[in-house]
Structures are given as C-alpha cells and as structure tokens.
Amino acid sequence: MMMWRDGVVVALGAPWGASFPLDVEITAAPGTDPDTGGPDGPLPAGSTVKALAYAPLVGEPRVGDRVLLSAAPLARGLGTGGYAMVVALPDRLPADPTPGPGHLVKARYTPLQTMVRGVDEQSSDHHEQLREADSVDGMPVVVADLHSALPAVLAGVRAEDPDLRVVYVMTDGGALPAWFSRTLAGLRDAGWLAGSVTVGQAFGGDLEAVNVHTGLLASRLVLGADVTVVAQGPGNLGTGTRWGFSGTSCGEAVNAAAALDGRPVASLRVSGVDPRERHRGVSHHSLTAYGRVALAAADVVVPRFDGGTDLEAAVPPGLGARVHDEAEPLGAPAGLHRLVHLSTAGLTEALRTSPVPLSTMGRPLEEDPAAFLAVAAAGRHAARLAG
C-alpha cells in the first residue's frame, strides 16, 4: 500500500553520505475520510514531517522544492527511522547519469528500481577474477541478525587485532539502500571498515553483488578482507511467528560461508531487557536460524559476562546461565554447531570506543549491555581465527 503526500521542503538537515534529511510541509493529502488520510487523518495538509531523500535516485533537494512522498510507514508508526521517503522532485528532475557499463537492476520492478554495475558482471574489471572463483580461503565470516550488531562486532575484532581488514556484506532483509545507514557511514569515516558489498536487492555499497555468495567472494578477493560481517540493513521484519522474520537469512549466510570454504561464526542475538519473552535470553531468531535454517556447522559464540566491569555488572543476574542453557542445543551432540564459550573481558572498553552510537531496538549500550557484549565476543573470536 502506498500513501502519497505532496509537500514543499522547508528545511534541510545535515546529510550523511548520499542521504539528505528534510523537513517537509504537507501541501496536499488525498481524500476526506480520516481512514484514508484526509484533513483529520494521519499527515494532513499543513503538517510538517521528517523526510529523507537519496540523492543518487532523486537528486539533491533544496528549500522550496516540491516533493512527492511515500508516507505509509511513517503514518503507521513503523520502524523506518521516522521518515517519509522522497519519491521524486517532480519540478526539478535530476540529469540523466553519465552513460556507462552495468546491467544489474536492484529493487527490481519497483518505481525506484536502480541500475548498478555488479562486481562480477561481464563489464566489471573483476569479472575474470571472480568468474571461476570458488573459495574465500578460510576467511572468518561473522553472521549477525540485526544491523545494530555491526559496530559491536567490529569493536570485538579491533579489541583483538585493530589491523585486520573488515568488510561488511549487507543483505536485503532490512533497508535496501545502504545510504540509509548512519552507522555504516560513520564506520567508514572512522576507518573501521575497509568497504561494503550490497547483495540481493540491496544497493549502494562500495561494491554490488548478486547474492551473498558473490558478495563474500568479492569481500575476500576484491576488497582483501581478513574478516567479513554479514547482516541485514537497518530495519528487520518480524511477525512474532516461528518462521516469519527476515533474520532467517542468518542461517543462509552460514551455509554460503561454509560452501565457499569460509569459517562461519554465528553471533547470538541476546537481550536481558527486551519486553518480548521470545527475544529475552537468546532470541528465537538465533535459535531458529542456526538450529533449523543453517545446514552447515558454524562456531556459535556463547558469551561469558565475566569481565568485572560496570557494563557486565549491569547484565541481569542469571542471564549468562540462561544464554548458556538456551544455546546448548545448537552444539553437538544435539546440534551440528561448535559452541565457543568466550569471556567478555576487555570488551566493555572496546565497545566504548565505537565511533558511532550503539543502539539496538531503541536501547543504548548501558540499557541492554548483553546485546552488544554477545556480538562483540563473536567479533573477538573471528579475529582470533583470522590471526
């Protein structure tokens, strides 16, 4: 369902990368029925909303520009970062891009489908390098459920060896444009990432690839990664059912890493304070993805919150034992994975060096420290494998 709004840009925020935040005054909302967004419904004419424009798709907005907005997720209060999305600057269309190679279409058959050059397509400088490529040569691949895990995994890697080259492979379970992520932009600016590869329908990374397999190969062979982190973009999808969530892609990423001779490292989604019982302790997302979707063995990193810092002291009593017990069926003999019990000692300091804010499901580091310590431990283990 699309909910259209017409508006005028009244203020510009500070851009990050290709993303331009705006304040837009709504000038037209269709219909008069509150259920369809009339004057008394959501986002009526005269109201001001936060919006986001991706310059490579619609051009760079200016104050006074008329904009067409897609506003349904904002009106519904969904987790879009609080933005309506700019679909077009209809009175000032951007110039056509310079003709060039590239025939991969992403966000295919949607109004904003975009054409990119894939790292492995025939016109790419890397086509011959990747044409018969079949191995990432034992590269550790950290798999995470949520995009918010990315900086914490990197903190764990850097706590062990700050000189390792780490690349992010972004899947399409959340945001499709990599440009949406302030986290990704901040990590690149700080030098914490050597690059990014967007796969599937996702786009906007340093490299574009068809799927996770080619993304991992590009990460290793083109960008020279010592460690790769695979996670969806911001904004995961979940329905509260056993199988209805975008994080099942974690199990598929484990399979891809193993198929290419990588070392899959499965990070656990953990929480000590999530109000939903299914995400307390080890999230059912991790248990399903690694226990049912993954068909290849991974190192499942089980954290021990034993570093003695204020952050570890804030982990709810008994949570460590609960995480241990819930992860146990993933390992042999009941499961196919290798359980790696790892101390979180030293990871508090590493997490606090993050160049970007740490927040998961709206909760900062101090509110849910177990979430970040758990994935940082996976980063530490991957760094040890790479060393």
81 pLDDT band, cuts 50/70/90, is: low
Which residues pair with residue 270 across a beta bridge? 282
Q: What is the pLDDT of residues 103-148, one digit of tens each?
A: 899 999 988 899 999 999 999 999 999 999 999 999 999 999 999 9
In whole angstroms, give the CA distance from residue 86 to residue 47. 16
Please determine, for residue 79, whether its predicted confidence score (pLDDT) is greater than 70.
Answer: no
* Separation between Cα atoms, residue 154 and residue 164, nearest integer Å: 10
Angle between helix axes 319-327 and 369-386 (nearest 10 degrees) is 50
d(C-alpha 219, C-alpha 212), whole Å: 10
Per-residue burial over 303-338, b = 16 or more CB atoms within 10 Å of its CB, e = otherwise = bbbebebebbebbbeebbeebbebbeebbeeebebe
**Mean of pLDDT over the chain:** 93
Q: What is the pLDDT of residues 344-369, one digit of tens each?
A: 999 999 999 999 999 999 899 999 99
Tens of pLDDT along 187-213? 999 999 999 999 999 999 999 999 999
Whether 36 has a pLDDT exceeding 70, the answer reads no
Q: How far is CA 92 from the centre of its chain?
A: 32
In this prediction the pTM is 0.93
Is residue 229 exposed (0-12), middle (13-18) or buried (19+ Cβ within 10 Å)? Answer: buried
- Quick one: what percent of the chain has pLDDT higher than 90? 83
Cis before 333 (ω within 30): yes
Q: How confident is the model at residue 32 (pLDDT cuts 50, 70, 90)?
A: very low
List, in order of start, the domains of the chain with CATH numbers.
4-88 (2.40.50), 127-386 (3.40.50)
Q: Are 178 and 203 in contact (CB under 8 A)?
A: yes
